[in-house]
């Protein structure tokens, strides 16, 4: 094949900036993980993935390839059939932030009470938790809507509440499962910008699942491309463009280049996936 593919999985180890990401200490690693649901053929097979401290790692892959399953394994919602998930710091495992594709807010609780939930489950009273809740809401730009109920908010605002809820415990690692997939493009771009700005401020590690090449390139410094049936890591890309990345980055030729590389890698992964299936 020609240039873009050659620059894909093979060249991923080369570009500058990758060295920085590689030097980061590991946070959690999936080692030789197999996962099957019931008697179905395995969803994941021999999956190896290392998340390092400070990564913004995107899992990019076609729908149904097992991206959500990987996140559910990391969150300990399901156990692997074979292989293991090794945490460098058990404390990080105990305080995860998670954002699902749907905001999954409690409809009966106000915005502030939804964000309070993780702290409340740790035994913090509303009063004790109030400063943290207010800070998390302010961080996502919803300081003024604390008393609103979820159904009074737009889809984008609900997602912001879900992000505030994930942030409120100051987790070391945040897992995000296609959080913006259901939003319109303009809202998605804004939330992408805001997410990067937010992360620059709090500096946590993020594992971000998406099936959008553009989103993964814009947001992450590492992209793990998955192939399907069985799900596995097909290749890794580094996106060495420095942060902060703003709307200007989206218009830059570098961005377009990396999108092309990521697209080609994804296409190759999908081809191989369908060969096997």
The partner in contact with residue 155, picked from other proteins, ligand ADP, Mg ion, none with C-beta cut-offs of 5 to 8 angstroms by kind, is other proteins
Provide the minimum distance between the beta carbon of 154 and other proteins in the complex, in angstroms, as a whole number: 5
Separation of alpha carbons 161 and 71, rounded Å: 20
Residue closer to other proteins (CB basis): 7 or 115 = 115
**What is the chain's Cα-based Rg?**
19
Provide the minimum distance between the beta carbon of 43 and other proteins in the complex, in angstroms, as a whole number: 17
Q: Sort residue 63 into left (φ over 0), alpha (ψ -120 to 50) or beta.
A: beta
Asked if 37 interacts with other proteins (CB under 8 A), we say: no
For residue 244, cis peptide bond before it (omega within 30 degrees of 0): yes
The partner in contact with residue 88, picked from other proteins, ligand ADP, Mg ion, none with C-beta cut-offs of 5 to 8 angstroms by kind, is none
Provide the minimum distance between the beta carbon of 208 and ligand ADP in the complex, in angstroms, as a whole number: 12
Provide the minimum distance between the beta carbon of 134 and ligand ADP in the complex, in angstroms, as a whole number: 34
Separation of alpha carbons 141 and 134, rounded Å: 10
Residue closer to Mg ion (CB basis): 43 or 112 = 43
| Secondary structure (DSSP) of 206-264 | EEEEES-HHHHHHH-SEEEEEETTTBEEEEEEE--PPSP--HHHHTSHHHHHHHHHHHH
Residues 191, 180 contacting (CB under 8 angstroms):
yes
Residues touching other proteins: how many (CB under 8 A)? Answer: 31
Per-residue interface string for the shown chain with other proteins, residues 60-99, x marking contact by CB under 8 A: ------------x--xxx----------------x-x-x-
- Token pair, residue 238, equals 């580094």
The partner in contact with residue 37, picked from other proteins, Mg ion, ligand ADP, none with C-beta cut-offs of 5 to 8 angstroms by kind, is ligand ADP
- Token pair, residue 55, equals 């990564």
Residues, the chain, total? 277
Binding residues among 60-79 for Mg ion as defined by CB under 5 A: 68
For 49, residues 6+ apart whose C-beta sits below 8 A from its C-beta are 29, 30, 70, 224, 233
Stretch of 36-44, 113-121, 235-243, 251-259 lying at the interface with other proteins (CB under 8 A)? 113-121
Residues that bind other proteins (CB under 8 A): 72, 75-77, 94, 96, 98, 100, 102, 104, 106-109, 117-118, 120-122, 149-156, 182-184, 187
Residues that bind Mg ion (CB under 5 A): 68
């Amino acid at each position: 094949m020609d240039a873009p593919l050659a620059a894909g999985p093979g060249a991923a180890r080369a570009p500058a900036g990758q060295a920085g990401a590689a030097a980061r200490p590991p946070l959690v690693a999936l080692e030789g993980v197999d996962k099957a649901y019931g008697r179905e053929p395995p969803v994941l097979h021999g999956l190896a993935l290392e998340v390092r401290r400070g990564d913004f790692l995107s899992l990019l892959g076609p729908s149904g390839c097992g991206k959500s399953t990987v996140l559910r394994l990391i969150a300990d919602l399901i156990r692997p059939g074979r292989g293991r998930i090794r945490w460098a710091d058990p404390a990080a495992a105990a305080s995860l932030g998670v954002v699902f594709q749907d905001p999954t807010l409690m409809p009966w609780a106000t915005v502030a009470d939804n964000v309070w939930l993780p702290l409340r489950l740790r035994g913090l009273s509303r009063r004790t938790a109030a400063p943290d809740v207010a800070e998390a809401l302010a961080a996502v730009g919803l300081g003024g809507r604390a008393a609103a109920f979820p159904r009074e908010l737009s889809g984008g605002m609900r997602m912001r509440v879900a992000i505030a809820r994930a942030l409120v415990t100051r987790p070391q690692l945040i897992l995000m499962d296609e959080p913006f997939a259901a939003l319109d493009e303009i809202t998605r771009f804004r939330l992408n910008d805001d997410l990067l700005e937010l992360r620059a401020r709090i500096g946590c590690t993020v594992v971000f699942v998406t099936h959008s090449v553009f989103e993964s390139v814009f947001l992450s410094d590492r992209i793990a491309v998955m192939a399907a049936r069985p799900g596995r890591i097909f290749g890794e890309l580094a996106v060495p463009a420095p942060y902060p990345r703003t709307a200007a980055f989206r218009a830059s030729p570098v961005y377009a280049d990396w999108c092309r590389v990521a697209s080609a890698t994804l296409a190759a992964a999908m081809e191989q996936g369908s060969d096997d299936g």
